[in-house]
Structure 1
């Protein structure tokens, strides 16, 4: 697979890093694909691909596009309702200003799980 700024190699470590950041998004909050990617060092499309393929075991419903819209809103709604995430008037997602996770808090919440991965990888 091609690597570099435009394309990042998807390996097991990258997949696990994305999934661990998603697990760290607090209930009742969402983060955009690009925000999750920025914490891991990958692009938003790769985050989406990882969630589509391996995300069933993590709170995938907490990841939206940059506008707060969710591509699987019908499936996400029961989770959103349980967590108190309200759908915005256009019916496509939530308001990021109201429900978006604080990225510094998310970074701190994810730090232990990401550090654990780095320790298991070794040199």
Structure 2
């Protein structure tokens, strides 16, 4: 997937955030900062755009320390757990769960990871 560029004519930050968030696979997360670096804006702008989305997996975007969003009645932890995201004490384990767009496609198979080409 190419990087969504904010400078593309007619492209809004909300559209760029939606595209990036939709590309985070189930079982993985990205921080607000990860998303912001991907589209060339700041993490607070990503947070604001996330508040306007209702059609993207919002629960896969977490704080830098792995703390999930508290909106939507605090359902993020439940949704991340259902997807098999590595969690510890209510936080995503960022060293295991962080999605890297420049890495090969990876799927989780139990506690193991499988590279898909």
User: 1:81: how far off?
Assistant: 2.0
Deviations 1:22-79 (A, max 9, x none): 0000110000001101110110000001101x22210000001111111328311231
Q: What RMSD over aligned residues (CA atoms) do the two structures have, in Å?
A: 2.2
Match 1:94 to one of 92, 95, 99: 92
CA contact (8 A) 1:27 1:83 kept: yes
TM-score by length of 2: 0.71
Take 1:33 and 1:43, find their aligned partners in 2: how far apart are those partners?
Answer: 8
How many residues in Structure 1 have an aligned counterpart in Structure 2? 94
| TM-score (norm: length of structure 1) | 0.68
Which has the bigger relative contact order, CA under 8 A and spacing at least 6? 1
Of stretches 96-105 and 31-40 in structure 1, the one that deviates more from structure 2 is 96-105
Higher strand fraction: Structure 1 or Structure 2?
2
Unmatched 5+ stretches in structure 1: 1-10, 109-123
